[in-house]
Structure 1
Amino acid sequence: MADPRAPMPPLRVLLSEGGSTSAREAITVLGLAGHHVEICDPSPRCLGRFSRFVAKYHRCPGLGRDPAGYLRFIEGLLAQEEFDVLLPIHEQGLLFAKVAPRLQGLTALALPSFEAYRTAISKAGFSRLLDELQLPQPSTRLVTSAEQVRAEARAPCVIKTAIGTASRGVWLVRDADQLEDALRELAAIDGFADEVLLQEFIEGAIEHAQAVFAHGELLAMHAARRIAEGAGGGAAIKQSVRRDGVWADLARIGRALEWHGALSVDYILPSDDASPRYIDCNPRLVEPMGAKLAGLDLLELLLKVSLGQHPPAAAESQAGMRTHLAMQALLGCARDGGSRGDLFRECGDLLRRRGRYAESREELTPVRSDWLSAVPLTLTAALLLLAPSLAGPLAAKGWGDHLLDAGAVRRIDGEEIG
């Protein structure tokens, strides 16, 4: 049996998609470690294609539109080519968990049970789990109609669909007009086909923790505070932190779910005390390059767990490491009303590592180690300088067919996957 403490030999790794920021950062971490990386994605211009570390791109059906077709494609690819590990880098893991025995005969992968994954991916399911474990969250009600929302909403509040990824399906409501806007958008996406969360709004710092588990045991965790927000709700600047209390809470969550693989949570630290309030769960790693730069390679641990190893708990990541995502920073600057002059100054600060980027390291587009990553970064900067109003449409390009939506989840739940 392989020594779980030994460095990983080069592996052939297939990523389940290539369009998300998490996939793009995983490509960098895996490539720098010497692994052979291939990606699947419905878009031939996905972010992951702009990397020298991607050995091959496979155009596949979109998970959001055609889960059964996507699954057939993955199974066919795994049957034709030999991969050591299939890495569900986004919520494709829900589909994989549904048919795990079929996939495990073709390659290695780390996933919990379908029931556990379904609990984690649902905001309503995660809220119920927090209640069961008596872990803190904002005051939350589950509602099923617009009338119930109007009757019970107290601004400021947050409205969330049960299923939503990449910060979609979330509305911050501060007044009656915003409430009606949110309800119209909910109606347009048939949001009340499932439960909707009506949640207390809490002021405070937003942090994120991502972890790797082996059969319910927490092996490693990296936490970071969001210093600046980019477009679409993602972080533009982060700083790593140490959170022993979050470690303990995550350990309880992992044991309750018998989690196997990667799991992440978002939480708010209210300004009046240090107790976290958990607000979201993602059954995957989220932008793992920050952890790597802070000294913790979560992907190496995840690969070992995928291969059936049970490595010892890892040392903590370094607190105080500041990282940034230049594309998100530029999109956030433009979204917040930045002029061309503001964008020029932001570009200058990024290039010269000054201002809020002093002593910060790039996560998403590491041009020095991966020159191809300069292509999407340069194109984004050029388009925003041409028309800052493009920030919204450009950010929305990350919400493609490679992601799950509520309809796809219902099809997977209903076993309409072939």
Structure 2
Amino acid sequence: MVSGARKHVLITFGRSFLTLNLARQLAAAGHKVSTCDSLPITVSRFSNAVSSFHRVSPPKFKPQEYCREVAELVKSEGIDMVIPIHEETDILSMMAGLFPPTCELFLSPFELEDMLHNKFSFQEALVERGFPTLKFAKIASAEDTEGLDFDTPFAVKQTYSRGSQKVYKAHPGQSLDFLTFDPANPWIAQEWMEGDRYCTYSVCRDGEVFAHATYPVSYAIDGSSCLAFTQVDHQPILDWVQRFAKSVNFTGHMGLDFIDHPEKGLYTIECNPRGTSGIMMYTRENRLDRAFFGENTEIISPPEGRTRMIGVGMTLYGWRKSGRAGNSLRQFFRDFRAASDVIYDPQDRLPAVMLIPAYIAILTHGYKYKVGLAEAFMHDHEWDGHKI
């Protein structure tokens, strides 16, 4: 693709607020944007930044059909770049050979995407590259639980999992007989450490970081999926991300979860080699599109102190004790009033108007698969390690 030229970009996972926000930025920079999703009603479909919406098969349940349909869209619509947002990234990377060489898939080879997505192999990769890690162990069977030798509390979660799923806090000697085992998706036990929690979002090409955002975990669904985001300057985290991205020669967007302990230092809990909520701290004037095409020479970051929120998420979950991260209700209301909503935009009002129909579609989807609202939002775009 010619540098600075107008491109036609297809963004997947059209129901996501990340997709909506990125579409607005790309369109404002002069690019043509299409989106796709397995749901018929999505917030991005009604954005004036989106030129066309396409309904496709659910990637989790019909992965081959999904990839073929997206590849056909690339050919029929003249797409220059596909930017996957959620875990369909892994599925598309497995079938990258379907796509014409004229279109760039903004992702890394499957082997790298899989290594980063898998929480156990990611920790192994850190050890191999000399990064400090918290103590960790794989739990693939009931016998493995008996061999755990943690002398402090530890987290237990599946190696392929995400913020909407349960993380158990276990203690040395505690029985883990409640765990069930999937050969393709074992569990990881990881030392539990208290400290300042941060999340990042970075856009990388060929191991170089072109955009980066860092935000502390404040309001989140059960302390995991962030609902409010404030940009902070944390140079050690940026240094860490740059070093790691170069060490694996990563291309794509990436989110990382960090613990910064006042005495022990900085540790990385897990990696999400896909779009994450930090993308919503960027606005049109940041020209984030340049990072995706590798056109900027300095790292693009939101201005320090910028605060955005998912208003509907804050309304549903942020005020709850489990979602406030120690903040009082009074503080919640102050922060709610101070933050700008990522969905409402005076230049693009219809997505906010269509939130109710869009959420009805997600709730209907959740009823079909017998999962709650938070899980239903991403359920058919997840990937849990099962090869296609």
| Alpha-carbon distance in 2 for matches of 1:137, 1:28 | 38
The total of aligned residue pairs comes to 372
**TM alignment of 1:142-291, pairs within 5 A:** 142-149=138-145, 152=148, 156-165=153-162, 167-174=163-170, 184=178, 186-187=179-180, 190-230=181-221, 233-270=224-261, 272-273=262-263, 275-291=265-281
- Structure 1 residue 59, shift from structure 2 partner: 1.3
1:30 corresponding residue in structure 2 = 26
Q: Which of the two has greater helix per residue?
A: 1
- SS of the residue corresponding to residue 48 of structure 2 reads coil
**TM alignment of 1:48-127, pairs within 5 A:** 48-127=44-123
Q: 1:323 to 1:291 in 2, by over 3 A?
A: closer
| Alpha-carbon distance in 2 for matches of 1:379, 1:177 | 48
Q: 1:140 to 1:127 in 2, by over 3 A?
A: same
**Equivalent residues of 2:41, 2:358 under 8 A apart:** no
- SS of the residue corresponding to residue 54 of structure 1 reads coil
Q: 1:59 to 1:154 in 2, by over 3 A?
A: farther
- Structure 1 residue 257, shift from structure 2 partner: 1.2
Q: 1:334 to 1:147 in 2, by over 3 A?
A: farther
| Alpha-carbon distance in 2 for matches of 1:103, 1:162 | 29
Q: 1:70 to 1:286 in 2, by over 3 A?
A: same
| Alpha-carbon distance in 1 for matches of 2:168, 2:98 | 41
Q: Out of 362, 366, 370, which is 2:341 matched to? A: 362
1:386 corresponding residue in structure 2 = none
| Alpha-carbon distance in 2 for matches of 1:178, 1:61 | 42
Gaps of at least 5 residues in structure 1 are: 339-344, 383-391, 413-418
- Structure 1 residue 200, shift from structure 2 partner: 1.3
Q: Out of 364, 371, 394, which is 2:373 matched to? A: 394
- SS of the residue corresponding to residue 54 of structure 2 reads strand
- Structure 1 residue 289, shift from structure 2 partner: 4.2
- Structure 1 residue 400, shift from structure 2 partner: 2.6
**Equivalent residues of 2:226, 2:277 under 8 A apart:** no
Q: 1:67 to 1:330 in 2, by over 3 A?
A: same
- Structure 1 residue 175, shift from structure 2 partner: 6.4
| Alpha-carbon distance in 2 for matches of 1:294, 1:204 | 33
Q: 1:177 to 1:22 in 2, by over 3 A?
A: farther
2:366 corresponding residue in structure 1 = none
- Structure 1 residue 290, shift from structure 2 partner: 3.5
1:332 corresponding residue in structure 2 = 317
| Alpha-carbon distance in 1 for matches of 2:378, 2:49 | 23
Q: 1:72 to 1:178 in 2, by over 3 A?
A: farther
**Equivalent residues of 1:23, 1:287 under 8 A apart:** no
Q: What is the TM-score with the length of structure 2 in the denominator?
A: 0.83
- Structure 1 residue 127, shift from structure 2 partner: 0.7
For each residue in 1:179-209, what CA deviation from the matched residue of structure 2 results, as whole angstroms up to 9, or x when unmatched? 65xx54x42xx44544321011112232111
For each residue in 1:119-171, what CA deviation from the matched residue of structure 2 results, as whole angstroms up to 9, or x when unmatched? 11111111111111222332211221134235526673211211123x14441
**Equivalent residues of 1:207, 1:224 under 8 A apart:** yes
Letter in 2 for 1:146: A
| Alpha-carbon distance in 2 for matches of 1:148, 1:161 | 14
Q: Out of 332, 351, 365, which is 1:373 matched to? A: 351
Is structure 2 residue 32 aligned with structure 1 residue 14?
Answer: no
Letter in 1 for 2:154: C
| Alpha-carbon distance in 2 for matches of 1:226, 1:359 | 17
2:363 corresponding residue in structure 1 = none
- Structure 1 residue 238, shift from structure 2 partner: 1.7
Once the two structures are overlaid, the 10-residue window that deviates more, 207-216 or 149-158, is: 149-158
- Structure 1 residue 395, shift from structure 2 partner: 2.0
